[in-house]
Amino acid sequence: MKIKEVLEQIAHRPWTLPQGPWKYYQEWNHTIFLHWKVEPQLLKARLPVQLELDLFEDQAWVSVVVFRMERIRPKRIPSFPPVSNFGEINIRTYVKYKGKQGVHFLSIEASKRLSSFIARKVAELPYRYSKIKYGKADCFSVNDEYQDELSFNFQIGESILQKSPLDIWLTERYALFQDARSGINAFDIHHVEWALYSASIDDFHFKYQRFSDLLKGGPDQVHYSPGVQVLAWSG
């Protein structure tokens, strides 16, 4: 889809498009979402004081999102596959900031060292390098520094033609709020509405010691999407 066409699809957005030109283009492809219900008090202590925890029917959620980051680039600069394409795993929760709902990253991992370094420096996001192998129906990741491990197999099911309010709440997020040196680093984003599919997982293994109090057992909900084209504005 052409960028102009992406920008024309706005009916699903919770607020209008940001003023001014977008700054970054990227694609989040072959995306699987693993969602957990979490006790709100366990999350509040992990958030910057400026952010408010967002709840769905008084319930907090944390999601592990695995996808192929592709063609990421600044505006007017072509993508460079050795840097622009990599596997990513992020662990996020749901927050509010200045009246907007968005996400906050508890962890972000990239499968390329240089890509991780550039993202930390340019966007001030907490990227780190991990060994990630993400195939058509399986995922394996290990981080030697933190001793983090993630692996599972998955099967993609039927298209979700009628999304529930929770499906929409967990996936249709158009802002990112991250703590940085100067305060909260805010990004507005835009993409067409996610095409969601049901999915199931097995042979699930998740060992992140830092999050052992948050994510216990398998996920409460799983989604899959072929992906979206994304435009981002930095604040």
pLDDT of residue 181: 84
Question: What percentage of residues in the chain have a pLDDT greater than 90?
Answer: 96
Query: At residue 180, what are phi and psi to the nearest 5 degrees?
Result: -140, 180
Measured CA distances, 22 to 50, 57, 234 (Å): 25, 33, 8
Residues 6+ apart with CB under 8 A from 35: 61, 62, 63, 170, 219, 220, 221, 222, 223
| Average pLDDT for the chain | 96
Q: Which residue, among 189, 175, 191, has the nearest Cα to 12 in the 3D structure?
A: 191
| pLDDT confidence tier of residue 174, bands split at 50, 70 and 90 | very high
Per-residue pLDDT of 187-235, as tens digits, reads 999 999 999 999 999 999 999 999 999 999 999 999 999 999 999 998 6
pLDDT of residue 96: 98
The whole-number average pLDDT for the span 176-186 is 91
The whole-number average pLDDT for the span 59-67 is 98
Domains in the chain and their CATH numbers?
3-12+24-234 (2.40.400.10)
